[in-house]
Amino acid sequence: MSSTIKPTKTFQETLKYLGKDFSSKVIDGELCGYYKINDYYDIEISGMNNNRVKNLNFTIYVWNIKNGMYIKEQKTVHSLSELKRSLDSLIEHYSNEPDQQ
């Protein structure tokens, strides 16, 4: 029997702030933000599904889709604007990066 993880208000607002290209995905039992960069890389945003209004704490992972290994982890992102800047930078970098398998 599978259960659905209900998104919190913070999760919904964060996803809306990030824009329509971001979606939700359950990863390792946690509801996360998700973005597929290309056929080689995707991004997981952990720490979004809580009711914190202050003291936001996100962790960003860039994954190599081909081998299932994360290749970059960025911790301690504490605001929505910092999260968006970090994601924009990572997306730009890995959009032009060849597969690093």
pLDDT in tens, 8-32: 999 999 999 999 999 999 999 999 9
Residue 99 is predicted with a pLDDT of 57
Q: How far, in whole angstroms, is CA 76 from its chain's centroid? A: 13
Ranking 6-10, 33-37, 42-46, 73-77 by mean pLDDT, the lowest is 73-77
Looking at the DSSP assignment, which residues form a beta bridge with residue 41? 64
pLDDT at 1 over 70: no
Residue 73 is predicted with a pLDDT of 85
Residue range 33-42: mean pLDDT, rounded: 96
Is the full-model pTM beyond 0.75?
Answer: yes
CA-to-CA dists, residue 19 to 52, 53, 57, 62, angstroms: 20, 19, 19, 18
